[in-house]
Structure 1
Amino acid sequence: MTVMIVVAIIVSQMKSLETMHLENQVKWYALIQWQPYQYFCCGMIFQNVQECRDALAKYAIMKGLQIHYIKNDQVRVRAECMEKCPWKFLASKNSHNNDFVVKTYVPNHKGYRKNTNPMATSKSLSKLLKDRLLTTPFIKYRDLKNLCKTELKLKISLTQARNIRKNVVADLLGSYTEEYKRLHDYVQEINSRNPGTTCVVKASKVEGGDINHFRCFYVCFVACKKGWTEGCRNIICLDGCFLKGVCKGQLLCAVGRDGNNQMFPIAWEVASVENKENWGWFLNLLKYDLTIGDGAELTIISDMQKGLDSAINEHLPEVEHRMCARHVYAAWAKKWKGEERKIAFWKCARSTFENDLKSQLREMNLLGNGILEDFMQYNVESFSKAYFRTTPKCDYVDNNMAETFNGWILDARCKPIISMLEDIRVQVMRRLYAKRKFCTTWICVVGPRPMQKLERNKELSFKWQMVWNGDEGYEVSNVYDQDNRHIVNLKSSSCTCREWELTGIPCQHAVCVLHSEGLEPENFVAHWYIESTYLKANQFMIQPVRGKILWAETGKEEIAPPAHRKLPGRPKVRRKKDKNEIQKAGKLSRKGRIMTCKICKQPGHNIRRCPQKMNMVLLLSPFYNKVLS
């Protein structure tokens, strides 16, 4: 008898545990993110009445049901279909644990989908589209209406679209503010998980205020720091791009070149505004991390960034500062347009020695009166290969590496600050590992991209012939033009065209000599392009970082988003066009056109301001005749 009682107690406890497990499963099911065409079930539990209403509204929008509330208060929610079909829903409050439980649910529905829905309010639609509008919080109302029409098959009004965007922006501002508050915790987590990393955040208070506003955030991971120092050339590309989220700002980056002539991220900074002070802070920290001193052995390539030139002159006075030739051409071509002038510009930029540059300048001078004077107004030494140093072994005249990095992180730039920084960190972490695996696919010790350049020089080498003096000098002349001659020295790895010294890859003249001597040009490529050097740059890995719930709290003063800067005047809707910019569509503007009067045939005025017309009007007026009499 006693054994039977014990067995009955155990069975009852097992049933209660099984019931509790099923109840937790149903409750968990109600808390997951709803997907299209989900359904309810009897016994489903919601935490509160608002969660029940949101789930019901999402279900009605996704299914296209014309649902309306029969009862809707803090104790019960009863809904039926407006098409008089059997569909019913009832959820009420449980008196024991204050949960909302689905008591009645009839899923049978008879009706047709319509393009309007009473459940599709601006509040419910903003919750439904929040994740979709995260990257484009300031979407145009027209595009938002089209999005609801194509994705949800709903027709919304302009007021609804305005309210939806307003609610989404308000929710995003709340998440942005929370992420700025945890910046100190994020810095501590980065530094603790990646020892040797430089991660700094700077904030300050506005004069007369108590709020600690965000100023700058800088990070340079130890893996990127050591990788650039041991396996990359002494050349850095600097650039800045705009953030596209709710809180505006700038992202400044420093990018190097690896052994395959691809980008190697070094460091990046989030700044509230791009100016000399923030660029100076960025360069000062970068100078400390990479131990580059005054920049005597360093080369920097940049665009025409605000305050960057003066910051470089102050913090890196001995650096070789190259300007992006593509941006120089964009400014120069506003006045001098045409395909021939474009070709002449790039020939000057890609000339590797001074005599070739002078020859190209003489040809350019024939393409327009004053064209050479305007070209020389720009600092030719900063974007022409003829004046580049040969130590970096890089002859690129553009800043494509930094711009590639900006495009690479385009999706991350739309997110809040910590989410953005985490996305960039994960992308760089994956890239370092992927590039280390990519090295195993090389067919020779030289990287694929440098090898393409060497193969091109091999094809061009057949146009040259070599004469040896018996010592160290090789005279290489063109087959079709004997006056075009260069001297190659294999011991010093040099050629009078300077291309071999600039790139570290044998030029077409050097390849001609190497083939004549029975040598392999691959063995004379600089060590920067070799597999062993490439592996040195990618041998260090970024260590994983824990989630927000595991971060330790520093207890430091919370940081607020950057202070809003109201610019003077009315906000510009359209881009301000340059006066010399070509108009692609529409009517040609009459601005700058010299008017000619139809009465007196004189330029400078039209018929309205013609002096002869004014005299005729005075003579015919009664007041003027009365005065004369």
Structure 2
Amino acid sequence: MAGVTVIKSEFESVKKSRVESVRKSNFQSVKKSKNETTLKGNLQSIEKSVEKSVVHSVQKSVGASVENNARGGGSGVHGCDEGLGERFDDNDEDGSYIPSCEEEETDDDMDAKELVSEDEEYTQARLKKKKEKEVFVLTDDMFHEIVNGGQQSEYVSEYENFEEEDIYSDSTDFEEEGRRARDRHARARDAITDNVVENAWQIHLKRASKKHVEAECREPCKWRCYGSRVNKSGDFIMRNVKGVHTCPGKYMEVFRLRPQLSYKELGLDLMQRYAFEDTRWRLYHAKKKSIDLLRGSVEEHYSKPRRYIHELDRADKEGRFEHVDVGVVFKAIYICFSGLREGFKEGCRRVIGLDGAFLKTYLGGILLSAVGTDGNNQMYPISWAVVEIENEVCWSWFINILRRELNLGEGVRITIISDQQKGLENAVKNLIPLAEHRNCARHIYANWKKTHKGPALKQLFWKLVRSTYMEEYNLACKELEKEDGQAFADLMDKNPSKLCKDFITPIQCSDSIMNSVCECFNAYILEARSKHLIDMLEEMRTRLMERLYKKYVDIESYESTSQSHLCPKVKKKIEAMIYESRNCTTIPAIGGRFEVNHFEDRFVVTPSLKQYGCRKWEITGIPCIHACVVINYLKQDVDEYVHEYFSLSKYKVAYGYSGITTVPGRRGRGMGRGTRT
């Protein structure tokens, strides 16, 4: 009986130890219970099941021990210990576990109510955090499947591997699945950001993990939103949105109407309207994000040149539109409308200004342009192109197309004005070698004055380059050399034959030594150069189209009210010279020649030959002050001696062609869609 009593006490100890062991091994499953009643039922089920299993094992062990004692194999507690130890070791092979009879530190001293109270606290915490999840109940069948035989059950809770189901799939490419999960998370954040920029809200991402996104608006606005990832698809869903925005309003329409609005003006407007101040970095990127939403990304723009050229070809079938791609990489695009080409050939002087300007986007690029001069001495755009870089290859490609379009040949009776860009000079020399090539005096002076400063040198420089006849040029050279010999030597190294009026041939009726028409063109499209490719080209086209229309309407209005056949600016210039001619005296001579004295200067003028000593009439096509005195002396009209390039008829011819044609937009005729074949 003593052995049976010991066995009963050991049975109670083993029972408690077995219950505690199973409870710990299944704690992850049991802890998901959300209901105290379910938890107590699970614990009672565990206790009963373990009790049956342990009783069965102990009964067998007691029988084996009694039989062993009967055979003399041992007695008392020692025999029982050996029998239990052997029996439990055999079951270890099956994976079961029963602790030894030795004392261990356990929760044996705690009763069932105290154990339940600890799990109840944990359950209440889980209930507060996960209210929407279903209650997981560990049934008796599940428990027996775990306990019987000591085998680990293959059953897995629906919620046990929640994260693994979302991130991993049957595919073995875990990196690809992880990348997709990160992409979904990034798209969720981008959606919130786009909404923020569109409505000018001050949103802060409070939490942005792989499974959750939580955002809130800044004080005092009470707006909040919460989103999480869907279990199966992995997409993010905004599950809860609270409050209504009370923060500053929308700015998308402001940027739509005023895209040139600077971040400084935006900051001042926010401060004035809402007493809200933000950093320059945030203001700059808010504007950039708004512009991208309105105009599209850079990738979208540089994927559309082919379709854009197709639309231009459809609208102007006689124009010249080309684009160059290397594989899928954009390299260049050339645009020349037939109306501009024919207007230049028929109504303008054969003087072309060539220049390149930087694009103001972060990708960079160069805008090449060819600009002429109309009868009113204003710019007349001919063609333009966008290239990667300004070098000899790009300029040769541009000038070669321009030469074929304008029938320039080798450059006979053609004048080119440009800066001293080396690649441009080589391209002009190789493709149109017989053209008169002038260098912009303003660019040369900007480089020359870096080492030769001072108002005296500046005055002497411009006196030299504006000399129209040889005597005046030689006198200016002597004065500059006397003032600063090194400055004079450096200027002579710049090849003065390309920048002084004294060396200009009297063919083109233009004494321009500065590339002012190209500078005007670049300033006119300054805002457009800060946009992406397609938007820039479209704004250039629309602005120039509107300008051509206004020029034609204005000249018709001027013609109906004016009695002169000359363009307005030329007429105004002649009137100023006629007024200044009061300081001149005229002495006639036999043979139609006249001596004209203007202060200390004296010149010989022959009106019938349109010749005079200062050469201004010859190189400009407009009578100078000396010629105006002689023409008035002969009682004739000065306007009749002006070259026809400055007449209203030529001006109307230049602007009378179709100019720049209209082009439908993205929705008008599918500029944003693929073209049909």
TM-score range, shorter chain: 0.5 to 0.7
Residues 212 and 508 (structure 1), Cα distance of their counterparts in 2 relative to 1, 3 Å cut: same
Quote how far apart the aligned CAs of 1:451 are. 1.8
- Give CA-to-partner distance per residue, 1:323-356, whole Å, 9 cap, x none: 1111111122222211121111111111111111
Structure 1 position 512, deviation (Å):
1.0
Task: State the partner residue of 1:459.
Answer: 579
1:445 aligned residue: 565
Output the CA distance in 2 between the equivalents of 1:59 and 1:105: 19
**d(CA) in 1 for partners of 2:480 and 2:190?**
72
Cα deviation 1:116-146 (Å, max 9, x = unaligned):
x9xx9xxx99x89986997699x7xx99877
Task: Tell me the distance in 1 between the aligned counterparts of 2:390 and 2:350.
Answer: 25
Q: Describe the shift of the 1:349–1:78 C-alpha distance in structure 2 as closer, same or farther (beyond 3 A).
A: closer
Candidates 373, 393, 404, aligned match of 2:489: 373
AA at the equivalent of 1:461: S
Distance in 1 (alpha carbons) for counterparts of 2:365 and 2:524 = 18
Q: 1:399 to 1:511 in 2, by over 3 A?
A: same
Q: 1:105-184 maps to which residues of 2 (within 5 A)?
A: 153-156=275-278, 175-184=297-306
CA contact (8 A) 2:469 2:502 kept: yes
Equivalents in 2 of 1:498, 1:459: separation in Å? 20
Q: Larger relative CO (CA 8 A, sep 6+): 1 or 2? A: 1
Assess, with a 3 A threshold, how the Cα gap between structure 1 residues 435 and 169 changes in structure 2: closer, same or farther: closer
Q: CA offset at residue 166 of structure 1? A: 8.7
Deviation at 1:385, TM superposition (A): 0.6
Question: 2:368 and 2:432 mapped to 1: Cα distance?
Answer: 17
1:173 and 1:404 map into 2 onto residues whose CA distance is 26
**For residues 470-489 of structure 1, what are the structure 2 equivalents within 5 Å?**
470-478=590-598, 480-481=599-600, 484-489=601-606
Change (3 A) 1:160 1:505: closer
CA distance in 2, matches of 1:61, 1:200: 41
Matched, 1:508 2:625: yes
> For 1:534, which of 627, 636, 651 is the aligned residue?
651
Q: Is the 8 A contact 2:528 2:536 kept in 1?
A: yes
Distance 1:358 1:233 in 2: 30
2:538 to 411, 422, 425: 422
Q: Which residue pairs with 2:405 in the alignment?
A: 289
Aligned Cα RMSD in Å? 4.5
Counterparts of 2:328 and 2:194 in 1: how far apart (Å)? Answer: 39
* CA distance 1:279–1:84, change in 2 (3 Å): closer
Judged with a 3 Å threshold, the aligned counterparts in structure 2 of structure 1 residues 146 and 293 are, in CA distance, closer, same or farther, namely: same
Does 2:647 correspond to 1:525?
A: no
- Structure 2 residue 388 is the aligned partner of structure 1 residue 272: yes
Q: Kindly provide the amino acid, as one letter, of the partner of residue 656 in structure 2.
A: Q
Correspondence for 2:307: 185
* 1:152 Cα offset (Å): 6.3
Select the structure of larger CA radius of gyration: 2
Indicate if the aligned counterparts of 1:303 and 1:323 stay in contact, CA closer than 8 A. Answer: yes
Q: Provide TM-score, normalisation by structure 2.
A: 0.61
Q: CA 1:61 to 1:345, structure 2 compared with 1: closer, same or farther past 3 Å?
A: closer
Q: Matched residues in 2 for 1:416 and 1:514: separation?
A: 55
1:391 to 1:57, Cα distance in 2 relative to 1, 3 A: closer
Which residue of structure 1 aligns with residue 134 of structure 2? none
Cα pair distance change 1:277/1:79, threshold 3 Å? closer
1:245 alignment partner, SS class: coil
> Identity percentage over the alignment?
29
- Counting helix residues as a fraction of each chain, which structure ranks higher? 2
The match for 2:343 among 208, 211, 227 is 227
**TM-aligned CA distance change 1:90 to 1:56, over 3 Å:** farther
What amino acid is aligned across from residue 316 of structure 2 in structure 1?
N
| One-letter identity of the residue aligned with 2:455 | E
Tell me, which stretches of 5 or more residues in structure 1 are unaligned?
1-47, 92-99, 205-210, 557-629
Give the distance between the partners of 1:108 and 1:251, measured in 2 at CA. Answer: 44
- Partners in 2 of 1:218 and 1:471 — Cα distance? 55
Measured against aligned partners, the alpha-carbon deviations of 1:522-566 in whole angstroms (never above 9, x if no partner) come to 11111111111110000012221011242373589xxxxxxxxxx
Q: Cα–Cα, structure 1 residues 50 and 433, in superposed 2: closer, same or farther, change >3 Å? A: same
Q: Distance in 2 between matches of 1:108 and 1:172?
A: 23
Alignment of 1:387 onto 2:507: no
Is 1:341 aligned to residue 432 of structure 2? no
Which amino acid is 1:452 matched to? K
Contact 1:238–1:253 (CA<8 Å) still a contact in 2?
yes
Shift of 1:154: 3.8
In the alignment, the residues of structure 2 paired with residue 144 and residue 83 of structure 1 have an alpha-carbon distance, to the nearest angstrom, of: 21
1:498 maps to 2:615: yes
Deviation at 1:383, TM superposition (A): 0.8
CA deviations on 1:494-546 (whole Å, 9 max, x unpaired) are: 21211001111111111111111101111111111111111000001222101
Deviations along 1:415-448, one digit per CA (max 9) or x if unpaired, are 1111111111111111111111111343322112
